[in-house]
Amino acid sequence: MDASEVFPFTDEDLDKAGLLGEGVDPLAQQVIETMKAHPKLLKLSIFVLQCINHVGQSKSPDSSFSSTTSSDPSNLSNLILTTTSQGSNSTLASPYAVSDYEKAVYYRGITADGDQPDLLYRSDITTNPFPSRQPPTRGNFGHLPSKSIRDVYNTSLHKVWRTVGPQIRDLVKAQKVRYSSIDPVRFVSYGEDKKETLGPPIVWIAVPPNSTSPETAHNVTQAILAILGENKAEDVVVEWREAVLSKLSGPPLMPVVNSINPTAHLRRIFTPALNIPLATKEREAEDTQGSLTMFFHENKDKNGNPSNKVLGVSNCHVLRADTSRDYVFRGGGAARQVVRVNGTRRFQQGLEEIMSILRTRSKRANTYTREIAELEAQGNLSDDDNKTLHTARQLLTIEQGGIAKLERFFAEVKNHWSDIEARNIGHLRVAKAIRAIPVDVAADTCYTEDWGAFEIDEMKVKAEFEGTFVDLGTAVSSEQVKENFYPRNDSRTTFKYPKERKFRIEGVVPRELIDHPDLLDSENRSCLIVGKDGTATGLTFGRYLGLESYVCSDLGVETMELGIYNLKEDGPVFSDKGDSGALIWDGNGRALGQLHSGHYKSLSSRSHVTYATPAWWLLERIKLEFPHAVFFRNTWSV
């Protein structure tokens, strides 16, 4: 029987993945039953089934997941990433695959803290079996094998590497295998008595996780062994590992992609748009997060020397624990205050968002599969039924293609971004202590100064840098965005929904227009409709109050602030905790202010008024520290 006509998982597979027995999410159970009944139609991996189950359990009020999922990354540790691998059209167990135990511990010892790569395949798997796991006994906790890397001097591989190395590389490329390195190595293995055993020379091939199947590795290896044999290096072993080639600074930020791509909204927290969530190493224990205000170019340093550095801006209270004193990075050997994208909580939330979309699309795929099966079972279909069947097949294909892309995206995010150090994006240059700065001495009025600037790591951002822009995303439709900025059909506005959703900020709202906006609402009243894209609440819209508010803090400090109301009755709040630092802008692509606080009924409620420092004044304050600063440039180089 064709493997595609058989449900690809055993009860043991499902049980190991937590998909058997009591407590399994009903939708996950239904999808599994549909796959069993129609394996040729509905093809999902164990990982996708786990996502369906995980998200369903986290939504259940009776589940222990509901109180921990959003904050505990360990809840995802048992998910099995089984994206479809190159060269394999089935998720059935491969005869060339190593055991999960061998995969995990084979390279134990070559890196610290158990962070060794996973073994994918090795050519001597039948002639050199890996010892099975020994159960612990009284006084003996079982020996875990370990090894370390050695050089290949004075081996058969050393003599011919300059000849066979390029041939092996070209062969791997010709087989369309995406490799990240091909290394000549040798290992020393350590026995239970610490006795050292020097192994044979090895051609050590690294491929990205989940990119290559054991079958493909086996088939390519046979050709590699033939090359080695022709060059009298028959004792060489070929081993494949899963590893990511990465610069030590971590992966670069991702590009914004078109709305058709199923990852378009999910990747926004890894792109250089204004929604990018910020955190700092200094405040890692608190897991404090905030939002990016804008980028600017230093242009020249304080001595007038040319500078190609780009800096990001946020609130001081986002970037610093101590907001009572100014901070200036002195350079030289001074310790750097590291700024990151996505603290622990926001990164975890990002993974949860991907799994939630996987559940949603799998639910649709399940529905289409059942509809197709019911129609096919009827026979003698009418023209309308045939059209319905054709449409359902197309929709199922689209859903399964989207699911595959989302599964690969989850693997990319988890493999490349899980290490919090890989999410470092720059270091703090200047942070101004939170204080009230007089703007009109005669009137005794002040604005709030609460900002900091951090230098951007060029390697992380330059490739995708496009200046200060908002990715309008896909969560709010283009029609709804237009409606928010067009309160009246006959009112004048220059807002145009941008191509590729990239809404560029190219200036500031002048003080005069803040006081006298020329836009009218549905009741023929002057108004200034604004938007923001923050870490906590995403893309939201609000209404400027019309004049500055006078605010008095708990400590009796009085300031003037720009006040923003929620836009609609019973509509979404304009901002919430975690949105600090977000830029507020109007429909003409001009910055209105930097969000820093809000009013709440209580500490546990949602905000009803948001407060911001005027953007025109913020830029003046930045200029005092960076006198040659250039704002709103769309290229990295000035």
pLDDT in tens, 494-516: 688 998 999 999 999 998 888 88
Q: Which are the contacts of 332, defined by CB distance < 8 A and separation ≥ 6?
A: none
What's the confidence (pLDDT) of residue 518? 67
What's the confidence (pLDDT) of residue 89? 38
Q: Is residue 153 part of a domain?
A: yes
Q: Are residues 105 and 77 in the same domain?
A: no
Q: Is residue 31 part of a domain?
A: yes
Q: Is residue 95 part of a domain?
A: no
CB 500 within 8 A of CB 256: yes
Q: Are residues 614 and 478 in the same domain?
A: yes
Longest Cα separation, the chain = 91
Nearest of 621, 296, 289, 287 to residue 432 by alpha carbon = 621
Question: Domain containing 474 — which CATH number?
Answer: 2.40.10.10
Q: Can you tell me the distance from the alpha carbon of 310 to that of 324, in angstroms, rounded to the nearest whole number?
A: 26
Nearest of 19, 275, 283, 240 to residue 119 by alpha carbon = 240
Q: Are residues 71 and 20 in the same domain?
A: yes
CB 554 within 8 A of CB 533: no
Q: Are residues 191 and 60 in the same domain?
A: no
Q: Is residue 504 part of a domain?
A: yes
In this prediction, the residues of the chain whose per-residue pLDDT falls under 50 are 62-74, 82-92, 138-141, 246-248
Q: Is residue 386 part of a domain?
A: no
Q: Can you tell me the distance from the alpha carbon of 92 to that of 273, in angstroms, rounded to the nearest whole number?
A: 41
Q: Are residues 120 and 152 in the same domain?
A: yes
Q: Which of 242, 273, 294 is the last residue of a domain?
A: 242
Q: Are residues 35 and 184 in the same domain?
A: no
Q: Which of 179, 208, 242 is the last residue of a domain?
A: 242
Q: Are residues 78 and 217 in the same domain?
A: no
In total, the chain counts a number of residues equal to 638
Angular region, 299: left φ>0, alpha ψ -120 to 50, beta rest:
left
Q: Which are the contacts of 81, defined by CB distance < 8 A and separation ≥ 6?
A: 47, 209, 210, 407, 410, 411, 414
Q: Is residue 336 part of a domain?
A: no
Nearest of 292, 280, 274, 275 to residue 323 by alpha carbon = 280
What's the confidence (pLDDT) of residue 143? 62
The residue behind tokens 């087989």 is 175
CB 363 within 8 A of CB 402: no
Strands 181-190 and 202-207: antiparallel
Q: Are residues 114 and 216 in the same domain?
A: yes
Q: Can you tell me the distance from the alpha carbon of 556 to that of 205, in angstroms, rounded to the nearest whole number?
A: 65
Q: Which are the contacts of 208, defined by CB distance < 8 A and separation ≥ 6?
A: 178, 180, 242, 243, 244, 415
Q: Are residues 72 and 123 in the same domain?
A: no
- Residues of the domain holding 557: 459-631
What's the confidence (pLDDT) of residue 202? 96
What's the confidence (pLDDT) of residue 85? 37
Q: Is residue 229 part of a domain?
A: yes
Number of domains in the chain: 3
Q: Is residue 442 part of a domain?
A: no
What's the confidence (pLDDT) of residue 76? 58
Q: Are residues 49 and 107 in the same domain?
A: no
CB 156 within 8 A of CB 233: yes
Q: Are residues 499 and 607 in the same domain?
A: yes
Q: Are residues 467 and 605 in the same domain?
A: yes
The CA-CA-CA angle for residues 483, 488, 489, to 5°, reads 85
